[in-house]
Structure 1
């Protein structure tokens, strides 16, 4: 069965939030500021997500959660347990530091690295990729050669690691020992900017080639 990933660049941070469909089932992965376009797409397609999966809980990835749930329904929100309090804390989700404090619905449950998630008849692997944040996770669908990686890796760049809750050492490990172990021809969908492939980043991303 075909897996389709549809990105929406939302809000002033242009956060990529993704609708993932397989058969009649779908997820939303991250839901940032100004989610109206994403909500309109779900309504037009008649899609009701079975869950919202969070790659991590920074404000630009959670700010639209409550609006989404008010329009579509009481969708379960799932994240890594290490960020269980972040949706409710402007300091942890960084909105307080930006001078625009926001909170969002707390998670209804947690995603465990190594867990397999099923969407329709597609099976996804969950990879822990801390560094940008301690609970950063990636969702990998081997059969279609696609991954959603949040703010860990971008086309030509990497996630910030200068926040109080970031770790440059963890980010180095997550990129070199987690994401760079994926197939070269795997397409990844980052939290900001265009898609790329693992092989392209291995060859041309200066942070991968030269280190950081």
Structure 2
């Protein structure tokens, strides 16, 4: 894809455009640009996730890991207007777009930032994510073991992963780390995994 979308400061020449996210309960027009994930359309995996997950908790802190220009976080914020939604990403251009998209949508219960800008004491009632699988297995595992321990006990993380990019092996690995995982949907070669934060989980692990 040329420059990877997970660059912190993309140097791809800007070419702004808009895409539409249309779901049964909402319609968002989102600004995108080159150098961010899936700039030409809302990614198919993201759509599968948003079409199949149960409603997010009505209140509390909700998190989108790898938020891009915001389709997942903005959907959470729309569906749970009394919740506080946080979207994190490494891509500064994506974060700027996401913040602008929140303003355009009139959503004031969502904040986008770099991960290290969030209060480390924050915990989350739910996590939704189309995680950046292409950063590699070790980096992906580190990313998940950074955020999953911050789920509140009994909280759920919903992740969408393509089958051919390792959804089944990720499912097994999450179970091994002490995060009981269930496949709740399978569509168009995508798997949606529901990951539970139990009262006690192991937060360090190998890449096995």
**Range of TM-score over shorter length:** 0.3 to 0.5
TM-score, normalised relative to structure 1: 0.38
Q: Select the structure with the greater relative contact order (CA < 8 A; seq sep ≥ 6).
A: 2
TM-score, normalised relative to structure 2: 0.38
Write 1 or 2 for the structure with the bigger share of helix: 2
